[in-house]
Amino acid sequence: MIRHLLLLLMLTAGGILARPMVRNIRSTHEFDRLLEKHAKETGLPVVVDFYSDGCGPCRMMAPIFKKMAGELGQDKVVFVKVDTNVQRELAGRYRIQSLPTFAFFLGGKKWNQFSGAGEGQLRQMTQQVIRQSELDNVKMELDALQEYYKKVEPSKTKEDIEKVYTKCVEMIKSNNKDGLCLGSAANQLARRLKKKYGSAPTLLERFDASAKNPSKSKEEGGGEKKSSSGSSSSGSTSAPTNNNKSAPNLHLATEEQLLEELEKRKADEEDDDDDEEEEELFPLYSGVSDFPERVVIVGGGPAGLSAAIYAARAGLEPVVVAPAVGGQLQGKGVVVENFPGIFSPTQEWLGPEVVLGMKRQASAYGAVFEHSIVTEVDTSERPFRVTTQKEFDNSTTAPIVIPTHSIIVATGAESNWLNIPGEQELRGGGVSSCATCDGNLYKSKHVVVVGGGDAAMEDALVLARTSASVKIIHRRDSFRASKVLAQRVLEHPNIQVVWNTIVTEIVGTNVQPDGDSEDESDVNLDDSFQIVSAAKLKNTQTGETSTLSTDAVFVAIGHTPTTQFLEGIVDFNPNHAGYVRTLQDGSSTKTSVAGIFACGDVSDAIYRQAITSAGSGAAAALDAERWLSEEGLGNEAAEFEAELLAELLKDGDTTKDGANDSSATYNAYAEASGVGRKESINAMGSEL
């Protein structure tokens, strides 16, 4: 049996010679061991993505996180992921209050962190921690300092030089059992000496460069490290001297250890395969075309994806512009029970699974995706021009401009906030609008939900699964939510309702992250941050005020349509601020601008359901297809190619009717009385 396991491990040996691009942490011990290894052996910073599978923003950031790992290289930084649903101890240790949270570790300690789906901030902090690790990767030896003083100040005694060196050593409070002048302390001493004497002593690299290269050193926890130069290679008994004491030699391992190692490697391979499938699943917009798109769909929720399915099946080859994960349905942690066809007596369907299925269906029929947000729509001429920008990119990449004949707007709505003291400051510290994302972080704790609609009911039911108690704060004496959801909430033993009450302030308290310091003297008070401790309440009937202790506040007071980029372009509903007005009293998806259609929550102020959004998305695609046909805007690329081929097959002589005249042009808007793209057929032919 053991020989068989050894053979299997040898066959998978290639996996242990290369560190995974992004490593999934499976235990607290594994995480601690990883931090210790990189603090003592490589000096590499570790970037950690604390996430959960049900968190929409987490899924959106996952491909960005992996892409960064590939871009930066494994000899500069280590990327790992921690599933907070599984690794609750780690989430509690580092006081993870919101998802996703990105934590940065250097020298085995937390260096910084932030919460939210911010690609620009993630890139900026990662570059900063890499730069800091490079600055820290230096050491100054006592011999080098003595040689330096011989040149710049020969009269300096040996004892005085040792005192200077000792001061440098004492500035380092941890990870310096050998008593060396290292990192920032060594840099600081070198700068001071250079300022005084005009030159600096020699600084050496603290960590061996080969230790950072995963192709030369084996994966943490998986086998023995290559012997360093000068060490003995006679016999296998030298292997136990590996700094990673928990990693046994394969031939000395027990059957249980071999099975554990084999399962670990299989899991790593499955993780890599899942990531590859996720990347390959949905075709991306290439932007390489001489012709405008026929339809661009803005939004990736049920409305946008339904429109994409219908448009793709009609052969319109739609471009869906939306973040990698879109739609409110993506953030639903409750079981989807009211979407036709999504039912199984043996399986529960959650929002993310429904969205993923729709996205797969759309891509199967020919839809392509651009993972961006729309910042501007130019309708001053035709074709329209849709300007997009990578979300949270801080303009680090050039905007993409997509010319298109028609636009379907399905951007949905975004969460409303209370706009009260403490709300903005404590986001990521216990204030959230996504119970599915952050609810599991408050297991066995007391939480508050603000609101009285369906969103508040759903959040309360999600939180009641794991939280010690849930209190709903509602400004009225009855819910406006659906009867079914409201009844479930009122009957739930862990949910209490505080009627006729508003939240006037959210109160926080300063805390210090756990697990970062070996002793009290090493605590950096600047690293403390605030988390929610209470909510101040006011009764709307009596004016009475009170303070309610709580660990988190979830705001669920509705949504506002994401239509800012359409201001000044289309007409809005005068009775519902922010909602786009559609023609024929809402029975059509056409807007006041021909060629622009609206569906889903951007135009529906009444129903606002996933199924009604999906239906209006299908209607928008049908309206767009009909409008394109009426305007004579077909597949220009295919038409132009056919016309060009016919032209090339003709005799080269000039005909009397001027068919081959160089002034012949192709204009898709010739009959639409618009301004379109013109291409000279003969000019193209001559180039060929």
Which residues belong to the active site?
434, 437-438
Nearest to 336 by CA among 355, 320, 318: 355
Exposed (0-12), middle (13-18) or buried (19+): which is 588, by Cβ within 10 Å? middle
DSSP string, 326-376: -SGGGG--SB--SSTT---TT---BHHHHHHHHHHHHHHTT-EEE-SEEEE
The DSSP result for 28-54, as a single string, is HHHHHHHHHHIIIII---EEEEEE-TT
What is the C-alpha separation between 616 and 299, in angstroms, rounded? 13
Whole-angstrom distance, CA of residue 59 vs CA of residue 62:
5
Least Cα distance to 245 among 32, 399, 21 occurs for: 32
The DSSP string of 604-633 is -SS---HHHHHHHHHHHHHHHHHHHHHTT-
The closest alpha carbon to 31, from 106, 97, 90, belongs to 90
User: Any alpha helices (H) in 465-567, and if so which ranges?
Assistant: 483-491
Helix 610-630 to helix 302-313 angle (10° resolution) is 40
Among candidate residues 125, 128, 132, the one with its CA nearest the CA of residue 183: 132
Within 255-331, strands assigned E span 293-298, 319-321
d(CA 540, CA 547): 15
The string over 542-554, giving b where at least 16 C-beta atoms fall within 10 Å of a residue's C-beta and e elsewhere, is eeeeeebebbbbb
Phi, psi of 104 (to 5 degrees): -120, 125
Among the listed residues 246, 222, 258, 228, the one whose alpha carbon sits nearest the alpha carbon of residue 18? 222
The Cα 532–Cα 76 span in angstroms is 36
Helices (H) and strands (E) in the chain, counts: 18, 27
Strands 138-140, 181-182: pairing is antiparallel
- In whole angstroms, give the CA distance from residue 456 to residue 334: 12
Bridge pairing between strands 529-539 and 78-83? unpaired
Cβ atoms < 10 Å from Cβ of 175: 16
* Cα–Cα distances in angstroms (integers) from residue 85 to residues 88, 136, 144, 270, 441, in the given order: 6, 34, 51, 19, 8
At 344, phi and psi to the nearest 5? -160, 130
The DSSP line for 85-152 is TT-HHHHHHTT--SSSEEEEEETTEEEEEEESS-HHHHHHHHHHHHHHHHHHSEEE-HHHHHHHHHHH
Residue 315 Ramachandran class (φ > 0 left, ψ -120 to 50 alpha, else beta)? left
- CA atoms of 92 and 304, how far apart (whole Å): 38
